[in-house]
């Protein structure tokens, strides 16, 4: 079968030795986050000890407890995120979820519920899928942690986040995300791990975290595929494909 259908790079279609992987060039251009990282947002730290918050999280402490990111939102990492979200490459989700499950093992070991960042129903209807829910579904299968894809609900359509700074993004999302009423009882006293594809300023994940705490969650942490580094924010705010 492999003679008829030889394995190819999941991004560029170059022939590879094993299926569901990256070729050498794409792998080298994928910036996996390793070493010391911010305990809260997953940003790589330089010259600082593991388990410390980064300068951004010190200046603007997010409401969640811990955070892990797998990739830097650059190079092949950025290309894969956009391929999943904008070009219906659902075939990428299993491999991405496997990376997230491995990196997120410390968080998954103390998690009761996985919950994706929600899309507004109108956007979900147009896109046909929620990329964060797809990642969460595969992570749940790998980890055995319960996944509730509709734990949170977007009550209104928000203006696109691109072009907005952190403060404007927070205002844009105010009261836009709530616990889904039928799941309220399931949140009480639970440890929730939020799943998203990209962490930019943290405004969306902050709104989700606040919604979980409002329903009585014990604690909330985040696991994201890619992290936009704080120094990148001024340049990516003009991108049209970064976030919903």
Taking all residues of the chain, what is their mean pLDDT, rounded to a whole number? 85
Taking each helix axis from N to C terminus, what angle separates 131-143 and 75-86, rounded to the nearest 10 degrees?
Answer: 110
Calpha distance 197→69 (Å, rounded): 9
Which pLDDT value is given to residue 26? 87
Task: Could you list the beta-strand ranges (E) of the chain.
Answer: 67-72, 113-116, 146-147, 152-154, 177-179, 191-199, 219-227
Top pLDDT among 95 and 240 is at 95
Which pLDDT value is given to residue 224? 98
pLDDT one-digit tens code per residue, 9-66: 888 888 887 777 888 888 888 999 988 999 999 999 886 666 789 988 999 899 999 9
Does residue 163 carry a pLDDT above 60? no
Which pLDDT value is given to residue 15? 86
Taking each helix axis from N to C terminus, what angle separates 93-103 and 75-86, rounded to the nearest 10 degrees?
Answer: 130
Which pLDDT value is given to residue 222? 98
Which of 136, 121, 113 shows the shortest CA–CA distance to 211?
113
Which pLDDT value is given to residue 157? 64
Which pLDDT value is given to residue 1? 44
pLDDT one-digit tens code per residue, 200-233: 888 899 999 999 999 999 999 999 999 997 655 5
pLDDT one-digit tens code per residue, 90-143: 999 999 999 999 999 999 999 999 999 999 888 888 888 999 999 999 999 999
Q: Do 135 and 197 touch, CB atoms closer than 8 A?
A: yes
Domains and CATH numbers, the chain: 1-30 (no CATH), 31-236 (3.40.50)
Q: Do 151 and 132 touch, CB atoms closer than 8 A?
A: no
Q: Do 85 and 240 touch, CB atoms closer than 8 A?
A: no
Which pLDDT value is given to residue 39? 94
Calpha distance 238→49 (Å, rounded): 33
pLDDT one-digit tens code per residue, 169-210: 555 666 788 999 999 999 999 999 999 999 988 889 999 999
Backbone angles phi, psi at 141, to 5 degrees: -65, -40
- Confidence class for position 240, pLDDT limits 50, 70, 90: very low
The separation between CA 119 and the C-alpha centre of its own chain, rounded to angstroms, equals 13
Q: Do 19 and 35 touch, CB atoms closer than 8 A?
A: no
Task: Could you list the beta-strand ranges (E) of 47-111.
Answer: 67-72
């Amino acid at each position: 079968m492999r003679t008829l259908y030889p394995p190819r790079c999941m991004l560029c279609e170059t022939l590879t030795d094993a299926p569901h992987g990256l070729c050498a060039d794409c792998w080298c251009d994928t910036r996996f986050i390793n070493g010391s990282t911010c305990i809260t947002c997953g940003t790589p730290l330089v010259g600082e000890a593991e388990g410390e918050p980064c300068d951004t999280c010190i200046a603007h402490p997010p409401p969640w407890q811990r955070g892990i990111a797998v990739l830097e939102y650059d190079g092949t990492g950025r290309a894969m995120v956009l391929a999943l979200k904008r070009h219906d490459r659902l075939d990428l989700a299993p491999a991405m979820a496997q990376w997230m499950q491995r990196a997120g093992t410390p968080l998954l070991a103390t998690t009761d519920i996985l919950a994706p960042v929600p899309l507004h129903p109108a956007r979900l209807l147009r896109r046909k899928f929620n990329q964060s829910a797809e990642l969460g579904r595969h992570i749940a299968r790998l980890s055995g942690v319960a996944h509730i894809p509709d734990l949170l609900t977007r009550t209104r359509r928000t203006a696109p986040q691109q072009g907005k700074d952190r403060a404007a993004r927070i205002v844009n999302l105010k009261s836009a995300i709530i616990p889904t009423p039928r799941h309220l009882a399931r949140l009480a006293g639970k440890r929730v791990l939020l799943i998203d594809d990209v962490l930019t300023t943290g405004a969306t994940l902050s709104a989700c975290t606040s919604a979980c705490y409002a329903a009585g969650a014990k604690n909330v942490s985040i696991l994201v595929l890619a992290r936009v580094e704080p120094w990148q924010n001024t340049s990516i705010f003009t991108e049209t494909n970064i976030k919903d």
